[in-house]
């Protein structure tokens, strides 16, 4: 029987073809113990320093977190049970988990790793997602009781959810003893999770081996069919057309493709296509002195120059979704519609933007080769602005946006929203700036948004929390501090005998299995 099935909850990330072209076409799953999939170029192997999706994927491969996401909610990872309040979480650590060098994982080892994550000089956004912006946690371990307790000074209702994110993966003593080697992927014995890095060819491929002594798989409530691969190979391949060819030829088992390639797999026996709502795109203005976007009139001009439906077509070819706020409509608290978001008005945009010089920095993941970014640049030029666009790789984008605050005026922000909450994108606009230890990327100061965000953290009910979160988001939209664009679709194809599941919307937690 022919089948080409549309799935949900599956993910991977973009990918190069040089290494793949040497593979053997037509490989089947009859005797394989290897899964080959695609990835973008990672910037670090240190889970606490993750900034882009490939970093998160590799962190998840080697490092276990305290809790994991499931379709039914959270399940245990290295923790068997937990209790929490807005300012404290207590975790009971499982007794059978070990590091890859055989070291028993104790509460003290967990504490030391979380202290390393929380270190002041670490600016990773996921640290803020775990502990809350501006919070320095106090972490205590009781090895006799088998518990780890995390206390924070101000409420953060997302702490346990944040500790399911791959960046909070527990690093074993060997890794903490050699941070430079940890980041380079050269430390032996640092892993708390199922796989160890066996071979790394920077920008080409990353090969992992399953630990023979690993027995700490979560007890998911969702049925996970198949067996884990003994060898998991991530291969860099930025050409989605070539990726389709390589999946068909048996040189890749799971790969990201563009919408235009979906029809190639129609009617092909056993191939499964997954269309996933993945990354929320929105504009962030640099509102520091020296940028033209200290002026709200100029910010509004940018917003009025853009047709969001056209952006969605260029970026996702009809497979994405135009946003009503800073998250997808499926996320709790998201409104069905939002009349505060301005429609395109080219005449008004031209009045505001003629002669304005804009340094636009954007990651090239918005559509094929960053086509969505080029659309934004051309829309602004059509309204009279002079636009210098840097349509760059994710690593360079991170370095400039987070490390060079005076080197850009406008950016396309791709929010992976690991928390699955409107809380996540708001952290990019409220509270302290990145330089001051917060997540405020553009140095936005919006007192209404700040106050409402604070109210959401102390809300007594879900209804009150949602109302406060939407008030915060709407304050940013009304003041032209941002423009919600789209929830982008990432599309994956799996050849017969291979699956990958993403439970509970956990974008950083692909569960790869061989089912053939």
d(CA 334, CA 331): 6
Reported as a single tens digit per residue, the pLDDT across 375-386 is 999 999 999 999
* pLDDT at residue 90 is higher than 50: yes
Q: Please state the CATH superfamily assignment of the domain spanning residues 5-271+495-514 in this structure.
A: Periplasmic binding protein-like II (3.40.190.10)
pLDDT band at 7 (very low <50, low <70, confident <90, very high): very low
pLDDT at 188 over 90: yes
What tens digit of pLDDT does each residue of 236-251 get?
Answer: 876 777 888 889 999 9
Helix, strand, coil shares of the chain as percentages rounded to 5?
A: 30, 25, 45
Asked which of 8-12, 215-219, 232-236 is least confident by mean pLDDT, the reply is 8-12
CATH class as words, domain 279-489:
alpha beta
For residue 211, give the nearest of 348, 61, 347, 66 by alpha carbon: 61
User: Which tokens go with 226?
Assistant: 């198949």
Strand 205-210 and strand 231-236: pairing?
A: antiparallel
pLDDT tens string 281-309: 999 999 999 999 999 999 999 999 999 99
Structure token pair of residue 442: 């553009």
Phi, psi (deg, nearest 5) at residue 203: 80, 0
Rounded distance between C-alpha atoms, residue 516 and residue 505, angstroms: 25
pLDDT in tens, 227-281: 999 999 999 876 777 888 889 999 999 988 877 788 889 889 889 887 776 789 9
CA 82/CA 70 separation, integer angstroms: 16
Domain boundaries, the chain: 5-271+495-514, 279-489
């Amino acid at each position: 029987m022919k089948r080409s099935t549309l799935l949900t909850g599956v993910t991977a990330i973009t990918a190069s073809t040089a290494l793949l072209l040497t593979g053997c076409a037509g490989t089947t799953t009859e005797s394989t113990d290897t899964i080959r999939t695609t990835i973008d170029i990672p910037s670090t192997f240190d889970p606490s320093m993750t900034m882009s999706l490939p970093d998160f994927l590799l962190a998840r491969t080697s490092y276990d977190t305290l809790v994991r996401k499931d379709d039914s909610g959270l399940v245990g990872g290295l923790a068997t049970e937990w209790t929490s309040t807005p300012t404290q979480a207590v975790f009971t650590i499982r007794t059978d988990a070990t590091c890859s060098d055989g070291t028993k994982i104790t509460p003290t080892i967990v504490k030391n790793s979380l202290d390393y994550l929380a270190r002041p000089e670490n600016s990773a956004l996921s640290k803020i997602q775990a502990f809350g912006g501006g919070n320095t946690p106090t972490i205590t371990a009781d090895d006799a009781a088998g518990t780890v307790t995390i206390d924070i000074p101000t409420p953060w209702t997302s702490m346990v959810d944040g500790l399911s994110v791959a960046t909070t993966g527990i690093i074993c003593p060997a890794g903490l003893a050699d941070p430079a080697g940890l980041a380079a992927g050269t430390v032996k014995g640092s892993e708390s999770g199922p796989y160890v890095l066996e071979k790394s060819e920077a920008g080409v491929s990353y090969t992992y081996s399953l630990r023979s002594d690993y027995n700490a798989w979560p007890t998911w409530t969702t049925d996970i069919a198949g067996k884990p691969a003994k060898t998991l190979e991530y291969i860099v391949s930025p050409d989605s057309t070539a990726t389709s060819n390589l999946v068909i030829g048996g040189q890749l088992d799971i790969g990201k493709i563009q919408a235009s390639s979906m029809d190639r797999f129609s009617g092909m026996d056993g191939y499964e296509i997954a269309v996933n709502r993945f990354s929320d795109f929105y504009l962030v203005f640099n509102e520091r002195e020296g940028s033209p976007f200290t002026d709200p009139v100029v910010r509004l001009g940018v917003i009025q120059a853009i047709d969001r439906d056209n952006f969605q077509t260029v970026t996702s070819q009809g497979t994405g979704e135009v946003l009503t706020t800073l998250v997808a409509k499926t996320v709790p608290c998201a409104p069905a519609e939002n009349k505060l978001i301005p429609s395109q008005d080219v005449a008004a945009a031209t009045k505001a933007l003629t002669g304005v010089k804009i340094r636009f920095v954007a990651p090239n993941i918005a559509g094929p080769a960053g086509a969505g970014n080029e659309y934004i640049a051309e829309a602004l030029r059509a309204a009279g602005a002079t636009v210098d666009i840097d349509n760059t790789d994710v690593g360079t984008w991170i370095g400039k946006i987070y490390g060079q605050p005076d080197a850009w005026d406008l950016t396309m922000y791709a929010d992976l929203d690991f928390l699955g909450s409107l809380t996540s994108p708001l952290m990019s606009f409220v509270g302290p700036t990145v330089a001051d230890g917060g997540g405020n990327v553009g140095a936005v100061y919006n007192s209404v948004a700040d106050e409402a965000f604070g109210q959401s953290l102390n809300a007594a009910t879900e209804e009150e929390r949602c109302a406060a979160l939407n008030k915060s988001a709407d304050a940013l939209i009304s003041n032209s501090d941002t423009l919600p664009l789209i929830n982008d679709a990432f599309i994956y194809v799996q050849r017969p005998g291979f699956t990958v599941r993403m439970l509970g919307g956990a974008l950083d937690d692909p569960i790869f299995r061989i089912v053939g």
